[in-house]
C-alpha cells in the first residue's frame, strides 16, 4: 500500500487565533474512524495513511461554528 499520506487538524478560535485546547475530533475515511480523540494544543494528526478522501468532524461543536480553512 501507498501509506505516505498524512492528515493534520488544527482548530483555532476565530477571534484571537489561539488553539482550541481540548475539543473532541474525529478523522474518518468513509464510515471508518481513522483517529479520534481530544485535540492536544488545538491539534490532531494521523500519519502513514493510504491515499484516500478523509473527513474531519468535531462531534461536540455545531457544524455551523467551524469551517475548513
Q: Coil, strand, or helix at residue 65?
A: helix
Q: What are the grid coordinates assigned to 6, written together?
A: 498524512
pTM, entire model: 0.81
Q: What is the pLDDT of residues 1-16, one digit of tens each?
A: 578 899 999 999 989 9
Distances (CA, A) of 52 to 28, 29, 38, 43: 10, 7, 23, 21
Q: What is the pLDDT of residues 14-49, one digit of tens each?
A: 899 999 988 999 999 988 999 999 998 899 999 999
Amino acid at each position: 500500500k501507498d501509506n505516505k499520506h498524512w492528515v493534520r487538524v488544527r482548530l483555532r478560535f476565530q477571534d484571537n487565533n489561539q488553539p482550541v485546547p481540548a475539543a473532541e475530533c474525529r478523522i474518518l475515511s468513509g464510515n471508518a474512524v481513522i483517529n479520534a480523540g481530544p485535540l492536544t494544543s488545538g491539534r490532531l494528526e494521523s500519519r502513514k495513511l493510504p491515499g484516500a478522501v478523509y473527513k474531519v468532524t468535531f462531534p461536540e461543536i455545531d457544524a455551523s461554528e467551524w469551517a475548513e480553512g
